[in-house]
Amino acid sequence: QLGCKMGCNFCATGSMGFKNNLSSGEIVEQLVHVGIIHAINKLHNDLPGLNLAFSLHAPAQDIRCQIMPAARAFPLGKLMDSLQDYQSKSLQKIFIEYIMLDGVNDEEHHAHQLGKLVVNLIPFNSIGTLSQFKPTSEQNVSNFHKILWGTYHIRTTVRKQMGQDISGACGQLVVNIPDKSLAMQFP
């Protein structure tokens, strides 16, 4: 879909709301679930053989609800059960997406909580005044990565940031509609 109705507080795309649906080809190209349990459960039956990217973004339900308002409807325990069920049925990879927000979900105890759950670490891409969050430091990303691998043997990828210079990176995609009141009027 163009836009998103999940309303995550750290994402510019969510700030624009839902605009319209994508074509079936666009959907199949990349499928990401942000924690809708029934959609995860249905995915294996409808489209077997797909890898799943799941937007977790916090290791505890209270933090998820703070940064992802829609998370209130999808308890973390049930989500993790749904992911385990998907994994056991499909044998496909599940990519756990975790955007790192300075002072919100990037501390060592969060890494330990996350390690006990299951992760692509995603440095936050600033979206200016649309969000109160700021990017975490490279050192915090590195420490998180070391804890997950060293303590829990969880192989993680730190996602390379690309597209920030044109506001096209993860979480920055939003449709800007020019203010028509500023346009010159011609008779």
Q: Where are the domains of the chain?
A: 2-175
DSSP single-letter state for residue 101 = B
- The CB density around residue 21, as the number of other CB atoms within 10 Å, is 10
Burial of 122 (0-12, 13-18, 19+ CB in 10 A): buried
pLDDT digits (tens, 9 = 90+) for 137-149: 989 989 988 998 8
**If pLDDT is split at 50, 70 and 90, which confidence band does 185 have?**
very low
**Top-confidence range, 1-5, 7-11, 76-80:** 76-80
pLDDT for position 187? 41
Say which amino acid occupies 48: P
Q: Which of 40, 53, 55, 41 is CA-nearest to residue 8?
A: 55
Q: Among the CATH numbers 1.10.10.10, 3.20.20.70, 3.30.70.2740, 1.10.357.10, which is that of 2-175?
A: 3.20.20.70
